[in-house]
Amino acid sequence: MPRDMEIALKNTKVAQKEKEPRGRSFFRPWMLILPPAAFFAVFFIWPLVQILAMSFTGPQSGLTLASYAKFFSSPVYLKVIATTFRISLVVTLVCLVLGYPVAYAMTVCSKRVCCLLTIAVLIPFWTSLLVRTYAWMILLQSNGVVNNILKSLGLIRQPLPLMHNELGIYIGMIHILLPYMILSLYPVMKGINRDLILASRTLGAKKGYTFLHVFVPLSMPGVSCGSILVFVMSIGYYITPSLLGGTKDIMISQAIQVQVNKLMNWPFASAISIVLLAFTYGILYLSKKVMHVQKLW
Amino acid sequence: MREGDNMKQKTCRGRVSRLTAGLAAASLIFSTAACSSGSGASAPSGSAGGKKWQGKALTVCSWGGAIQAAQKKTIFDKFAEKYGCTVAEDTDPSPAKVKAAVQANNMEVDVWDVDTDFAFRGEKQNLFEKIDFSVVKKDGLISNFITDYSVPSECSAICISWNTDKFSEQNHPKTWKEFFDTAKYPGSRTLYSNPMSMLEAVLMADGVDKGKLYPLDVDRAFAFLTKHKKDVQTFWDSGSQSVQLVSSGDNPLGELWAGRVIKAKEEGQPVDYDPNQAIITADSWVIGKGSKNVEMANDFIAFATSAQIVADYAVEYPGNAPCNNNAYKLMTSEQVGKLASSPEKIKNQVYYDVKWWVENYDSVYQRFQDWKMK
Amino acid sequence: MLWFFTILIVLFLILPVMIIIPMSFSASRYLEFPPPGFSTQWYQAFFGNPQWVNALKISVELAVLTTVLSLVLGILAAEGLSKSEFRGKDTIIEIFMMPMLVPGIIVGIAIYRFEAEISLASTFSGLLIAHTLMAVPFVIRTVLSNLIGLNPNYELASRSLGAGRLTTFFRVTVPIIKPAIFSGAMFAFATSFDEIIVTQFLCGIRITTLPKRIWDGLNQQLDPTITAIAAIVIVIISLVMVLSNSKTLFGREPRSVPQEETDLDDT
C-alpha cells in the first residue's frame, strides 16, 4: 500500500472518530435502507399480512379458524406436507451429491475448462423452466428419447416408466435446481485458501485425507447455503411436479393452486399458504440451529 | 478540515440532486410503463361505412388451439365483417382469470367462452353482466344451459378414447364398464382431473343406468374410483396433455374430449374415440362484469348462437356438438355424422346435469382433490 | 474419476436443453424425437403471430427495467446494510431475502390481491413491481456479501483524501464490486425473464409475458412454437456467454495473470 495512502488512512480513522458522531451531515448509512425497505413493506409485507388475515375469514363475516381446522383435521394435507418434505429432501441431497464434484472440478481445473463448465451450468440456468420441463417430457415419455435409445440398444423391451411418477418429478426438479447448488458451492470452494491444503500435504497427509479433513470442512458454508436454498426452493415447486409427476405425489403448492384456480376458495388457499410458510421458516430456523448456518445469503 | 466540510456539503447537495433525478427517472419508468400498457390494440379506424360497430374492437377469450382457430374462422371473422369491427382474441378463460379481472375492476375481455358450470357458479359471485334476451334469441338453444347471465356456446363430449397402436376399432372398450376392465384391456388409464363428467362415467361403469345418474351417488363413485385407483396413472389438466398422454402410449386408454381426439386423429396421431356413453357437457358465452362493450357483446353472442353460424362452426370443428338444435337442419347428414354428438348419438349419451353440479361442485371437487392425494 | 463424473453431470445439465434446438425444426406438431422432417414452420408461427412477438417484447422490456430497478434498490439496501450496525439488522436482511424463499404461489396470490385492490394488476407497472420484488434478493445477496468482504480502508482512504461519499461510492466502491453488481444484474434479468408463477396471476390480455404465453401454449396445445423461441434464447445466451468469455476460451492459456487487486473482494 502506498505510503501516502497509509497516512491518509490513519488520518481518516482519527477524523472519523472525531467527526462522525456529531457530523453536520444529516445522512446516516442506514437511511439508504429506507427506500428498499419501504418498497418491501408496501408491496410484500403488507400483502402477506393480508393473506394471513384472509386465512382467518370464511364465507360469513367475522374471524374463524375453520380453514386451519379443515387443514389439520384432514390427514390428506399432512400427507401432502410429508410428500413435499420428502421430495424436497431427496432433491436437495441428490443436488448436493451431483453438484459437489462439479463445483470442485471448477476450482481445480484450468481457467479455460472452468469457463466452459460455468457456461454449461449457466445455460440451463438461463433457459426457461417451462422449456426445460417440456424438454424432459420429450425425453422421458414412454416413446420418448431415453426409452427409444434403451430399446434400440436392446436393454429393455417395455418402455420404462420415467415420468408420471415421483422419478419424473425428481429428474425435472434436480435438473432445474442443480445449477443453484453449484453456483452456491463454487464461490465458497474458490475462496478456500490453497495454502491450507498445501500445508496439510506437506505435513504428510494423503490426498484423500486432506480432501476429507481439510477441504470438505472448509466448504461447509457453501454446502449448507446451497442445500438450504435448494430445499426451500423445491418446497414451493408446482409446475414441474404437475407436468412430470403422476397422480399420487402432489406437492403442497399444487394443492394451493387448485384452491386458487379451480375452487376459488381463497381463505383456504391462504391458510395452506400460511402453514407452508410456517413450515418453510421452521425448516430454516432448525437448519440454522442444527447446521450452524450463519446466513442464507 | 474546513475544506473537507465544504466537500461534504457539496456532495450532499450533489446527492440530493441525483436523488431527485433518480426519483424523476423512477417515476418516468412508471409513467412510460403505464403508457405502454395503456396503448394496447387500438382498433384501426377502417374504411368508412355504415356498419353498426365500425371501428370498434371486441375482445373475446376462448380456449385456444384448434377450437379457437375454428371459432375465428367461422365466428369472429364473420362477426367482424358483418359489423365492421375487429375482434381481439385472448385465450384461457379460467375462473381465476375472470375473477381477477372483476376484482381488479379491469375487464379487458368482453365475451368469455367459459365452462357452463362456471357460468352458473360465477353468477353467484357476480362476475357477469346480464344477457339481453331481446337481442339474443333463445330459440333452438339447449334450454338446460340457459341462465339470465349465459347462453350455451357449444357442447363437448367426454368420451372413451384409446391409442390405436394398442387397441383397434374392433378391440377397444365400448362402455365405461369395459374402460375400467384391466383384464380385458391392459394398460394404464388417464382421467380428466375434474370430477364433473368423471363421476358420471364411473357410476355408469359401476352399473348405474344412464337415466338414473342424478342425483349422483358420490360415495359410490368414490368407492369405485378407490378400487381402480391403481389403474389410473395420470389425471390430466389440459386438453393438449390428454392427447399427448394417449397418443404417446403412456396411458393407452383415456377419458378425453372427443374434439381433441378428432383433431389429433386428423393430424395422423394414433388416437381414436367412441361416442358411446359419452358425457355431454357444455360451454357458455358470458359477458364479463364491467365490460365496456356490453351492447356489442350481446350482438356478438346473438350472432354466435344463430343457427347458421353454429352449423358452420360445427362443420369446421366436428369434435363438439351444436348448442342450437336448429343448426342440425342446416347440415348434411354426412356432416352431422361426423359430430361427436347429435340427436341420433345422444340416445346413447348423457347430458350432464349442470344444476346438480352447481349445487355440489365445490364439495365434490374438494373431495376429489383430497381423494387424489390420499 | 472426478472428470468422468463431472462430464456426465454436465451432459445431464446441457443435453436436455440442447434437444430443444433440433425440436424447433421439427415438421411434426407433436412431441416427436428425432423430428420426422425439417421445417421452419415454428419460427414462422412465432414471428408471424403478433401475440408471440408482443409477448417477447414485453418480456425483454420488463426484464431490463426490472434489472435497473432492482439494482438501484438492491445496491441501496446492500450499501446501507454493510455500513451500519443496529439491532434487528439480521431480521431486516432476512426480510429482504424473503421473496426468494417464500413459495412463489404465495407471493403470487399476495401481490395479486394487493395489486388488484389498487388497480395495478394486469398492468405493466404491476408486473414490474412484482418482478423487482423477486429480483432484489438476488442483487442484495451478491452485492452485500461482496461489500462485507470489502476492505473498508479503501473507502476510508478515498474519503480522507477529500472525496465525498457519493464520489467514493461511484469511483472506489462500485469499480471494486462491479463483478457482484454484474452477477446480481444477471440474476435479476434471468428472474424476470423466466418468472411464471407470480406472473401468471398478474398478466392481462394486453400485457402478457413470454413465459406466460409459453405456459398457455403448454396448456392449450402442446405447440412446438415454444421450441422456436426457446431455441433462439438458448443460442443467444450461449453466444453471449461464449463471446464474453472468448479471451479465456480461445486466447492462449493464461499467462498466470498477476493477481492485481482482486484480493480485495475475497470474502
CATH of the domain at A70: 1.10.3720.10
CA nearest neighbour of C215 among B329, B241, A54: B241
Any chain C CB within 8 A of the CB of A7?
A: no
Any chain C CB within 8 A of the CB of A269?
A: yes
Question: Is A51 part of a structural domain of the chain?
Answer: no
* Tens-digit pLDDT profile for residues C227-250: 898 899 889 888 888 888 887 777
Stretches where chain C sits below pLDDT 70 are: 205, 220-222, 252-267
Any chain C CB within 8 A of the CB of A138?
A: yes
pLDDT tier for residue B42 given thresholds of 50, 70 and 90:
very low
Interchain CB distance below 8 Å, B96 and A247: no
Question: Is A8 part of a structural domain of the chain?
Answer: no
Any chain A CB within 8 A of the CB of B94?
A: yes
- Cβ atoms within 10 Å of C27's Cβ, excluding its own: 14
Tell which phi-psi region holds residue A197, choosing left (phi > 0), alpha (psi between -120 and 50) or beta.
alpha
Q: Evaluate whether C127 touches C199 at the Cβ level (below 8 Å).
A: yes
Any chain C CB within 8 A of the CB of A232?
A: yes
Chain A residue numbers with beta carbons less than 8 Å from the beta carbon of B229 are 247
Contacts of A53 (CB under 8 A, 6+ apart): none
* Tens-digit pLDDT profile for residues A57-71: 887 778 899 999 989
**A218: domain range?**
62-291
The larger pLDDT score, comparing residue A72 to residue A7, is at A72
CA distances for B361 relative to A264, B127, B283, B365, B366, angstroms: 12, 17, 16, 6, 8
Mean pLDDT of chain A: 86
* Tens-digit pLDDT profile for residues A14-54: 545 444 444 557 888 889 999 999 999 999 999 999 999 98
Can you identify the CATH homologous superfamily of domain B156-281+344-373?
Answer: Periplasmic binding protein-like II (3.40.190.10)
Provide the shortest C-alpha distance from residue B39 to chain C (in Å).
9
Chain C residue numbers with beta carbons less than 8 Å from the beta carbon of B8 are 164
What is the pLDDT, as a whole number, of residue C221? 67
Report whether pLDDT(A297) > 60: no
Contacts of A118 (CB under 8 A, 6+ apart): A106, C245
* Tens-digit pLDDT profile for residues B260-277: 899 889 888 899 999 999
Residue from C31, C81, C83, C106 to probe the interface with A (highest A Cβ count within 10 Å): C106
Any chain B CB within 8 A of the CB of A260?
A: yes
pLDDT tier for residue A288 given thresholds of 50, 70 and 90:
confident
Any chain A CB within 8 A of the CB of B10?
A: no
What is the pLDDT, as a whole number, of residue C81? 92
Any chain B CB within 8 A of the CB of A57?
A: no
Interchain CB distance below 8 Å, A138 and C254: no
Chain B, 103-162: which have a CB under 8 Å from a chain C CB?
103-106, 108-109
Domains B57-155+283-335 and B156-281+344-373 share a fold: yes
Any chain A CB within 8 A of the CB of C80?
A: yes
**What total of structural domains would you count in chain A?**
1
> How far is residue A206 CA from its own chain's centroid?
34
The residue count of chain B comes to: 374
Chain B, 1-40: which have a CB under 8 Å from a chain C CB?
3-4, 7-8, 10-12, 14-15, 18, 22, 26, 29-30, 33-34, 36-37, 40
pLDDT tier for residue A177 given thresholds of 50, 70 and 90:
very high
CA nearest neighbour of A47 among A277, A282, A232: A277
Cβ-count burial of A286 within 10 angstroms (0-12 exposed, 13-18 middle, 19+ buried)? exposed
Interchain CB distance below 8 Å, A261 and B95: yes
β-pair partners for B256: B159
Return d(Cα A281, Cα C181) in angstroms, integer: 28
**Which of helix, strand or coil describes residue B233?**
strand
User: What is Dmax (Cα atoms) for chain C?
Assistant: 71
Task: Using CB atoms, pick whichever of C123, C164, C201 lies closest to residue B8.
Answer: C164
Please name the chains neighbouring C, where neighbouring means 3+ C-beta pairs under 8 angstroms: A, B
> What integer is the mean pLDDT of B102-115?
86
CA distances for C113 relative to A144, C121, C185, angstroms: 41, 8, 28
* Tens-digit pLDDT profile for residues B321-340: 999 999 999 999 999 998 99
Chain C residue numbers with beta carbons less than 8 Å from the beta carbon of B109 are 205
Question: Is A185 part of a structural domain of the chain?
Answer: yes
Q: Evaluate whether B300 touches B58 at the Cβ level (below 8 Å).
A: yes
Q: Evaluate whether B79 touches B304 at the Cβ level (below 8 Å).
A: yes
Interchain CB distance below 8 Å, B92 and C216: yes
Query: Which of B17-21, B158-162, C69-73 bottoms out in mean pLDDT, i.e. has the lowest?
Result: B17-21
Question: Is A134 part of a structural domain of the chain?
Answer: yes
- When the candidates are 3.90.1580.10, 3.30.460.80, 1.10.3720.10, 3.40.309.10, the CATH number that belongs to C71-211 is 1.10.3720.10
Q: Where are the domains of chain B?
A: 57-155+283-335, 156-281+344-373
Interchain CB distance below 8 Å, B237 and C68: no
Report whether pLDDT(B45) > 50: no
What is the pLDDT, as a whole number, of residue B111? 96
Residue at A252: amino acid letter: I
Provide the shortest C-alpha distance from residue C203 to chain A (in Å).
14
Provide the shortest C-alpha distance from residue C43 to chain B (in Å).
17
Mean pLDDT of chain C: 85
Please name the chains neighbouring A, where neighbouring means 3+ C-beta pairs under 8 angstroms: B, C
Query: Which of A178-182, A231-235, A290-294, B116-120 bottoms out in mean pLDDT, i.e. has the lowest?
Result: A290-294
- For the stretch B35-58, what's the b/e string if a residue is b when 16 or more beta carbons lie within 10 angstroms of its beta carbon? ebbeeeeeeeeeeeeebebebbbb
What is the pLDDT, as a whole number, of residue A4? 58
Of all residues in chain A, the one with the smallest CA distance to C24 is A135
Report whether pLDDT(A3) > 70: no
Provide the shortest C-alpha distance from residue A160 to chain C (in Å).
17
- For the stretch A174-188, what's the b/e string if a residue is b when 16 or more beta carbons lie within 10 angstroms of its beta carbon? bbbbbbbbbbbbbbb
Q: Kindly state the percentage of chain A with pLDDT values over 90.
A: 36
Q: Taking an 8 Å Cβ-Cβ cutoff, which residues of chain C contact chain B?
A: 29-31, 61, 65, 68-69, 72, 112-113, 115-117, 119, 121-125, 128, 162-167, 201, 204-207, 216, 218-223
Provide the shortest C-alpha distance from residue C182 to chain B (in Å).
20
The residue count of chain A comes to: 297
Any chain B CB within 8 A of the CB of A295?
A: no
Q: Is the domain B57-155+283-335 a CATH 3.40.190.10 member?
A: yes
- Cβ atoms within 10 Å of C117's Cβ, excluding its own: 14
Interchain CB distance below 8 Å, B247 and C162: no
> What integer is the mean pLDDT of B131-148?
94
Number of CB pairs, chain A paired with chain B, less than 8 A apart = 68
Return d(Cα B136, Cα B146) in angstroms, integer: 11
DSSP state of B274: E
Report whether pLDDT(B28) > 80: no
Q: Evaluate whether C25 touches C35 at the Cβ level (below 8 Å).
A: yes
Report whether pLDDT(B99) > 90: no
Chain C residue numbers with beta carbons less than 8 Å from the beta carbon of B6 are none
Return d(Cα A115, Cα C245) in angstroms, integer: 7
User: What is Dmax (Cα atoms) for chain A?
Assistant: 82
What is the pLDDT, as a whole number, of residue C227? 87
Any chain A CB within 8 A of the CB of B25?
A: no
Interchain CB distance below 8 Å, C254 and A141: no
Chain B residue numbers with beta carbons less than 8 Å from the beta carbon of C30 are 244, 247, 264, 267, 269
Of all residues in chain C, the one with the smallest CA distance to B248 is C31
CA nearest neighbour of A245 among A99, A80, A93, A98: A80
Any chain A CB within 8 A of the CB of B8?
A: yes
Report whether pLDDT(B255) > 90: yes
Any chain A CB within 8 A of the CB of C236?
A: no
Mean pLDDT of chain B: 85
**Which of helix, strand or coil describes residue A107?**
helix
Please name the chains neighbouring B, where neighbouring means 3+ C-beta pairs under 8 angstroms: A, C
Any chain A CB within 8 A of the CB of C198?
A: no
Q: Evaluate whether A134 touches C226 at the Cβ level (below 8 Å).
A: yes
Residue from A20, A138, A262, A263 to probe the interface with B (highest B Cβ count within 10 Å): A262
Of all residues in chain A, the one with the smallest CA distance to B12 is A25
Report whether pLDDT(B1) > 80: no
* Tens-digit pLDDT profile for residues A87-137: 999 999 999 999 999 999 999 888 889 888 988 998 888 888 888 998 998
Chain A residue numbers with beta carbons less than 8 Å from the beta carbon of B249 are 142-143, 159
What is the pLDDT, as a whole number, of residue A272? 92
Any chain C CB within 8 A of the CB of B165?
A: no
- Grid coordinates of A54: 384472509
- Cβ atoms within 10 Å of A7's Cβ, excluding its own: 12
Report whether pLDDT(A248) > 90: no
What is the pLDDT, as a whole number, of residue B14? 40
**Which of helix, strand or coil describes residue A17?**
helix
- Cβ atoms within 10 Å of C86's Cβ, excluding its own: 11
- Grid coordinates of C27: 415438421
Chain A residue numbers with beta carbons less than 8 Å from the beta carbon of B8 are 23-25
Chain A residue numbers with beta carbons less than 8 Å from the beta carbon of B96 are 260-261, 264
Bond preceding residue A2 cis, omega within 30 of 0 = no
Interchain CB distance below 8 Å, A101 and C165: no
